[in-house]
A and B are shown apart, each in its own frame.
Chain A
């Protein structure tokens, strides 16, 4: 009998660590996420059921320390040629159970990617922050990017060049003083331990040297988080407002300095695409499992659904789409893991960002279509939360819309492939 492990992937891109790690993750997903995930929607505010699983993934399995150097208690995954493959494996495998749990766990490391992935490494900051991430306490990182006035404009670095950023960083002696308002980031809504804050040292400037990325612990005086927003899905991912009012952090909490901060921030866009394709493909694989069961036990015209030629046609298209999406997702992995190879590019390169955005957009569009179609195959059971397909449908729509949404992806692709200069 076929299973989700029969979907294609290029084995030469797979980390040697992946097989045992995937096995452990699958056990956690099957035993500790699948049986409880229907309670998550109602748990969006309190995280009574969700928080222990995030703890298990981040602390128990060690995800939160993975990027930190071994000498500071981590796994040095940032140095590995298989970093993206392993990150993708986590995103996909946990995403199979719940994409928001996967998101929350992985995004915890999103801000520290800015200084733990070569060539942009800041060992001093790594040493300083390692105790938070490598201990037994849950440490939730939050990349506080979006601002109220321009939505996802901030992610459009090639065009906007950070000139619309209103969150400011002012040097005052040996501290940065941060002021501004961010909203919507993953792992906000009151649960963040530390923020990565893109900001400007000169408001209105288009000079990348004026762009700053500064780590701000959530318990810093002057930092306030709102309660989480109510959303259509993704309950394990809390989102809210964050206000920085004269929040003071040491100068050493700026990740690199003029110029390099902007590059590191662009690299985060790639990381966001990598995670997104992992969540989407993981969820699709679970949709396949659910459809397999449904189509093998329900009938139309007194024949099993999967034995009806017309319905089989749809099922075939769905399986084919999932297979292609997975192959494409591994191309995003390859783009990142080749970053140090002679033929590779840094994750902040125009090519890597454009191609990963392209694939993310394609996979997400396909994923939303597939989930919608799967709901229709289930018919009167499609909208029933007990079958979980509709959960993936709600969640994947959100994956499709975040990180600047479809139109920004289209613009980035056009700029890259057609050398557009005025868009």
Chain B
């Protein structure tokens, strides 16, 4: 029986307007036509078709420029109340291929810090908008604080070592740091967003064009999932960064974490929705114990229920983060620490729920769960990759400490 996967999973519809539904339907149809209904062909020529599909939605449809103000050639989705729209677009893209969603998520997260009203940063927008609102496909990579190295003392952002440093230099800063691991796209980025620290240890974000002098990339990293989002360690050797291209406050770093949790949460949920479609098809057609359909066996039905439960919860949580961010009249802006804490806390849960859903569902698919032909395993690898990179280091501990700081005023630094 035909069904609409988006309608099956309840979410607060009053937070999503008609325009969003229209966009969602269009992207949904695009995803079905261009990718989901031609999955084998898409898999066979993955690199080539990924690029083509990415070009199609980023440039032809215009999602690459969507977040920028109209005066920069963007679509004007740079107001916080548009956040649910961005979430919806990312979810639909990721339903087709989490790699497509992931690339857009990094772009939106980095751009949002500079382009979202009421804190539009003109100088950063002047740097990145011409690239992202132009007619060429551009890729964004983000280098977050993460893991330090033994015997090295790093400046910290809420316990997380910051490997990149900026020092004042003529008309700006000099950026340095060696072998830093981005959360993705390092090998192919046109723009880097680098969380860095000044000589006083204050954190900030440097926006750097990838063709700047002094940037070198390590070898391409082979990774579990997100196959097209080629990553590489990045080194900065006295890279000149104009002072206007650095947002020098820790609120900006918190905001970047918030956007990443929201947008990457949307990506994982989107991947899960397609996994649900695959699993539902499986349960509709496979027989167990030589007789009944899988979905009609009580044990299998209980596993199927657990999968739906996890996805439903993850989807609700994503929309909740977008509500925190989007309804400034209720929650204030990013200055309110509850938003960062909620994004971290819910973001962690969204990734856990997403991975649990796929893990449980794969149990019922047995070998089809890990056969590339069925595509379930790709969603599984992609979501796990997102979950791990979001951790930074130390599994859920950094986020747990953020939560403890908020709720208990724990002194953990």
Report A's interface with B, CB cutoff 8 A: 38, 41, 146, 149-153, 156, 159-160, 163-164, 184, 229-234, 239, 296-302, 304-305, 308, 310-311, 314, 368, 372-373, 375-386, 390, 393-394, 397-398, 400-402, 404-407, 410-411
Cα–Cα, bound, A376→B391 (Å): 6
On whether A152 and B371 interact (CB within 8 A), knowing A301-B156, A383-B385, the answer reads no
For the complex of A and B, the 3 pairs showing the least CB-CB separation, nearest first, are: A382-B388, A299-B148, A376-B395
Contact residues, B354-393 vs A (CB, 8 A) = 355, 359, 362-367, 369-373, 377, 380-381, 384-385, 387-389, 391-393
Residues of chain B at the chain A interface (Cβ within 8 Å): 144, 146-150, 152-154, 156, 159-161, 181-183, 221-226, 286-290, 299-300, 303, 355, 359, 362-367, 369-373, 377, 380-381, 384-385, 387-389, 391-398, 400-401, 412-413
Q: 12 A-B contacts, Cβ less than 8 Å apart?
A: A151-B288, A156-B289, A239-B367, A298-B393, A305-B147, A308-B394, A376-B395, A383-B389, A386-B221, A397-B369, A398-B370, A407-B363
Q: CB-CB < 8 A to A402: which residues of B?
A: 366-367
Whole-angstrom distance between the Cβ of B167 and the nearest chain A Cβ:
20
| CA A159 to CA B288, docked complex, whole Å | 11
Choice from B159, B290, B388, B389 contacting A301 with Cβ under 8 Å: B159
**Chain B interface SS verdict (over half):** mixed
Whether A298 pairs with B384 at a CB distance below 8 angstroms is no
Partner of B289, one of A153, A378, A380: A153
B residues near A305, Cβ cutoff 8 Å: 147, 393-394
CA distance A393 to B225 in the complex (A): 12
Interchain CB contact under 8 A, A300 and B393: yes
Instruction: State the CA gap A151–B373 with chains docked (Å).
Output: 16
Extra pairs beyond A152-B366, A163-B290 (9, CB < 8 Å): A297-B149, A308-B394, A373-B395, A376-B387, A376-B388, A378-B388, A379-B389, A383-B385, A407-B364
Instruction: Indicate if the CB atoms of B224 and A300 lie closer than 8 Å.
Output: no
Across the interface, A379 reaches (CB within 8 A) one of B146, B154, B289, B373, namely B146
Contact (Cβ within 8 A) B362 A397: yes
B325 to chain A, nearest CB (A): 25
Task: Find A159's partner among B148, B289, B364, B365 (CB 8 Å cutoff).
Answer: B289
Task: Specify which of B160, B370, B388 is in contact with A383 (CB 8 Å cutoff).
Answer: B388
Q: In the bound complex, how far is the Cα of B392 from the Cα of A156, in angstroms? A: 43
Question: Does the CB pair A299–B388 fall under 8 Å?
Answer: no
Whether the Cβ atoms of A390 and B150 lie closer than 8 Å is: no
Contacts of B392 in A (CB 8 A): 379-380
Across the two chains, which residue of chain A brings its CB closest to B404? Answer: A310
With beta carbons under 8 angstroms apart, the residue of A153, A373, A401 that contacts B370 is A401
**Residues on the B chain within 8 Å of A384, using CB:** 181, 221-223
A273 to B45, CA, bound (A): 38
Chain A residues within an 8 Å CB radius of B359: 368, 397
* A386 CA to B181 CA, complexed, in Å: 13
B288 touches A153 (CB 8 A): yes
List the A residue with the shortest CB-CB distance to B223. A383
CB distance from A184 to the nearest CB of B (A): 5
Cα distance, A193 to B284, chains bound together (Å) = 37
* A38 and B222 alpha carbons, distance in the complex (Å): 9
Chain A residues with Cβ under 8 A from B369's Cβ?
A: 397, 401
Is A160 a contact partner of B289 (Cβ separation < 8 A)? yes
Report B-chain residues with C-beta under 8 Å of the C-beta of A304: 150
Tell whether A299 pairs with B152 under 8 Å between CB atoms, given A150-B287, A153-B289, A379-B388. yes
CB atoms of A299 and B397 under 8 A apart: no
Closest to B43 in A: A230
Query: In the bound complex, do residue A379 and residue B355 qualify as a contact, i.e. CB atoms below 8 Å apart?
Result: no
**B150 and A296 form a contact (CB under 8 A):** yes
Q: CB-CB < 8 A to A229: which residues of B?
A: 371-373
Residues of chain B lying within 8 A (CB to CB) of residue A406: 363
Please indicate the chain B residues that have their CB under 8 angstroms from the CB of A310 in the complex.
394, 397, 400-401
Complex formed: what's the CA distance from A380 to B372 in Å? 24
Closest to B392 in A: A379
The reply to whether B397 and A308 form a contact with Cβ atoms under 8 Å apart is: yes
CB-CB < 8 A to B371: which residues of A? 229-232
- Interchain nearest-CB distance for A49 vs B (Å): 15
If A314-B397, A379-B391, A380-B389 touch, does A160 touch B290 (CB 8 Å cutoff)?
Answer: yes
Inter-chain contacts of B373 with A (CB < 8 A)? 229-230
Q: Which residues of B contact A41 (CB under 8 A)?
A: 222
The distance in angstroms between the C-alpha atoms of A368 and B303, with both chains bound, is: 17
Rounded to whole angstroms, the CA-CA distance of A59 and B385 in the bound complex is 38
Bound state CA distance, A205 and B387, in angstroms?
49
Find out whether the CB atom of A375 lies under 8 angstroms from the CB atom of B413: no
Q: Cβ of B183 and Cβ of A380 under 8 Å apart?
A: yes
In the bound complex, CA of A149 to CA of B224 (Å) = 32
* A386-B366 in contact given A376-B396, A380-B183 (Cβ < 8 Å): no
When distances are taken between beta carbons in the complex, the residues of chain B under 8 Å from A375 are 224, 384, 388
Are A232 and B290 closer than 8 Å at their CB atoms?
no
A411 proximity list for chain B (CB < 8 A): 299
Question: Could you say which residues of chain A place their CB within 8 Å of the CB of B148?
Answer: 298-300, 302
Write out the residue numbers on chain B whose beta carbons fall within 8 Å of the beta carbon of A379. 146-147, 388-389, 391-395
A163 vs B291: C-alpha distance in the bound complex, in angstroms? 11
Q: Which of B182, B288, B372 contacts A231, CB < 8 Å?
A: B372
Given A230-B373, A376-B396, answer yes or no on A405-B290 (Cβ-Cβ < 8 Å). Answer: no
Measured CA separation A375–B387 after assembly (Å): 9
Instruction: Output the least CB separation between B373 and chain A (Å).
Output: 7
Contacts of A382 in B (CB 8 A): 224, 388-389, 391
What's the nearest-Cβ distance from chain B to residue A145, in Å?
12
Report the Cα distance A386→B388, complex, angstroms. Answer: 15
Return A180 CB to nearest CB of chain B, in Å: 16
Q: How far is the CA of A151 from the CA of B365 in the complex (A)?
A: 9
With the chains together, A411 CA to B303 CA distance in Å? Answer: 14
- CB pair B224 A390 closer than 8 Å: yes
> In the complex, A411→B370 CA distance in Å?
22
Q: How far is the CA of A231 from the CA of B300 in the complex (A)?
A: 24
- Give the residues in chain A near B156, CB-CB below 8 Å: 301-302
Q: Is A401's CB under 8 angstroms from B362's CB?
A: yes
Q: Determine how close the nearest CB of chain B comes to the CB of A358; give it in whole angstroms.
A: 16
Asked if A300 contacts B222 (CB within 8 A), the reply is no
A398 to B381: give the CA distance in the assembly, Å: 13
In the bound complex, CA of A394 to CA of B226 (Å): 14
